[in-house]
Amino acid sequence: MAQISANERAALDMIRMAEGTWHGGGQKGYGTMFGGGQFDWSKGHPDRVVRSGGYASAAAGAYQFMPDTWKGVTKQLGVSASDFSPEAQDRAALQLIRNRGVDPTKPMDTAMLAKLAPEWASLPTAAGKSYYNQPVKGQKELLSFYGQRLGAAPNPGNQAPAAAPAGGAAIAGVVGGGGGALAGIDFASLFGDSSSPVNRPVGSAAAAAVLQQQRQEINSTAPMLNSVRRQASTRMAGSPGRSFMQQLLELTQRPGAGQLLA
């Protein structure tokens, strides 16, 4: 199976949360039947009707597949319906998402949720109701959870993080040896680079949830950064025509830069 992207994993986790099979993200959800009972997923879809809370359903697995839905999507994928493993369930759920005209590699929004409502009864329509008049999760709750999971999702393809902007390590080194509260901070975003994700307009509620934590971390460093900015500005007051960020980067390359905060 191809590597699942961060957006795809967040979408899958969100559906599990809505369907009541999240269970902290463990594999228990893959063996959960409608009503909360457990089954052995290694033996395939249980295909057994369960009555609970005034409803009757044969839905099973992390994404609560109905028997006919499971048979149909596995046929579409060209795989065996007897394989009900977690990997097979993930792959099938992603295909069901695509079948509804939603690209799971894109950030989730309310319009996408509405398209998925006919597939999963717990997801809301545009009106915020269940397509099947069953209990439903709210749009805000779902997108908030999606945003949290997007921030927790593994790096797609296990790729190494992108290199920091030139000079970023030097700046971090000037302030406390590059560790502590400044570790991992994008200095370009802090000093007015409008192309930074922190300064870009937020395109969806899910993106807002992801960026909120970043903003909080940046705000927590404000006193220290203001001290750096004041002192650096004083020392570079005679260098007009260049941005503060450019001047600060140049300053860190000079002999004795480590004494900036002295």
**Is pLDDT larger for residue 17 or for residue 257?**
17
The mean pLDDT of 216-245, rounded to a whole number, is 55
CATH number of 6-158: 1.10.530.10
The mean pLDDT of 40-54, rounded to a whole number, is 97
**Is pLDDT larger for residue 205 or for residue 185?**
205
- With both helix axes pointing from N to C terminus, report the angle between 6-19 and 86-99 in degrees, rounded to the nearest 10: 100
DSSP letters, 120-173, are -TTSB-TTSSBTTSS----HHHHHHHHHHHHHHSPPGGGPPPPPPPTTHHHHHH
* C-alpha–C-alpha distance, residues 250 and 108, integer Å: 41
Q: Which helix (H) or strand (E) holds 73?
A: helix 67-77
Confidence check: pLDDT of 207 > 60? no
The answer to whether the beta carbons of residues 71 and 96 sit under 8 Å apart is no
pLDDT digits (tens, 9 = 90+) for 115-137: 999 999 999 999 999 999 999 99
pLDDT band per the 50, 70, 90 thresholds, residue 76 = very high
* C-alpha–C-alpha distance, residues 104 and 154, integer Å: 16
Of the candidates 74, 8, 63, 72, the one whose C-alpha atom is nearest the C-alpha of residue 30 is 63
Pull the structure tokens for residue 226.
């203001």
Pull the structure tokens for residue 101.
């005209």
Amino acid in the structure at residue 160: A
pLDDT digits (tens, 9 = 90+) for 24-43: 999 999 999 999 999 999 99
DSSP letters, 8-72, are HHHHHHHHHHHHT--GGGSGGGGGBBTTS-B--GGG------EEETTEEE--BTTTTB-HHHHHH
The answer to whether the beta carbons of residues 225 and 185 sit under 8 Å apart is no
The residues spanned by each domain of the chain are 6-158, 168-259
Confidence check: pLDDT of 167 > 50? no
Provide the residue count of the chain: 262
Confidence check: pLDDT of 145 > 80? yes
List 96's β-bridge partners, or say none: none
Pull the structure tokens for residue 5.
């992207």
